[in-house]
Amino acid sequence: ESFDNIKVWLQAIDQHSDQNVKKLLIGNKCDLTYDRVVGYATAKKLADSFSIPYVETSAKRSTNVEQAFKIIATELMSIPEVEASCSYYRDIHGIILVIDVTNEKSFENINKWLEEIDQQATDALNVLLVGNKCDLTYDRLVGHETAKKLADSLNIPYIETSAKNSTNVEQAFQTLTSGIISILAPIEAKSSATNDQAETKPIESTTIKSD
């Protein structure tokens, strides 16, 4: 069922987004060889029909997880900075800011990204700060407390991950998704209530006298 829905989603994305939207098709749980119902060739053929890359991963065994992130990063880096600023924040409700805990510069750049987000993004936005490469204990230059303190000052969650061994990768996406739902749910409920009220509102009439 998840595969059947992909074509519909890809078509919708192509219809409602500009050329700067980059897509990657991921087939997860590739380690479950005997349980799979979607073959590699079938998924690859679909990806090729939309001219997008396809990679199979296993979050459980860390298979190709880092490769998937590299593909996404490469695709994003191909977009001119000005165009990215204008298009990538349009109708976005969730952003993951990733810092490399072995690179102080990536941590220092967070404020620049936050400033751009404030200028470009919608108010209904959930931001998650992620410290990647937490497995490189002896190489890290950004301490957990330092990053956590920054996140707390911004009132956003902080999670440390390792794409190499899949530490907290799934948790990071679940945290972001939950945050987005918590933001959008009240908005959708209010919109639904407004529509219901409009439908049940009595029709006002005016009598016009003709002299």
Contact 150, 110 (CB under 8 A): yes
Per-residue model confidence (pLDDT) at position 38: 87
The pLDDT score that the predictor gives to residue 143 is 94
pLDDT at residue number 91: 62
Check if the beta carbon of residue 126 is closer than 8 Å to that of residue 98. no
- pLDDT at residue number 169: 81
Q: What is the structure's pLDDT at 158? A: 94
Percent of the chain with pLDDT over 70: 68
* Residues of the chain falling short of pLDDT 50: 79-84, 203-211
pLDDT of residue 210: 35
pLDDT of residue 208: 33
- Residues linked to residue 29 through DSSP beta bridges, in sequence order: none
DSSP track, 141-179: -S-HHHHHHHHHHHT--EEE-BTTTTBTHHHHHHHHHHH
Give pLDDT, residue 90. Answer: 62
Instruction: Please state the domain extents for the chain.
Output: 1-84, 89-185
* Tokens found for residue 113: 């990204």
- SS3 at position 10: helix
Domains 1-84 and 89-185 equal at CATH topology level: yes
Which pLDDT score is estimated for 204?
40
pLDDT the model gives residue 101: 93
The CB density around residue 100, as the number of other CB atoms within 10 Å, is 17
Alpha helices, H only, the chain: 2-16, 40-49, 65-77, 81-87, 104-108, 110-120, 144-154, 169-200
What is the fold of 1-84?
Rossmann fold (3.40.50)
Q: Model-level pTM?
A: 0.56
Provide CATH code, domain 89-185.
3.40.50.300
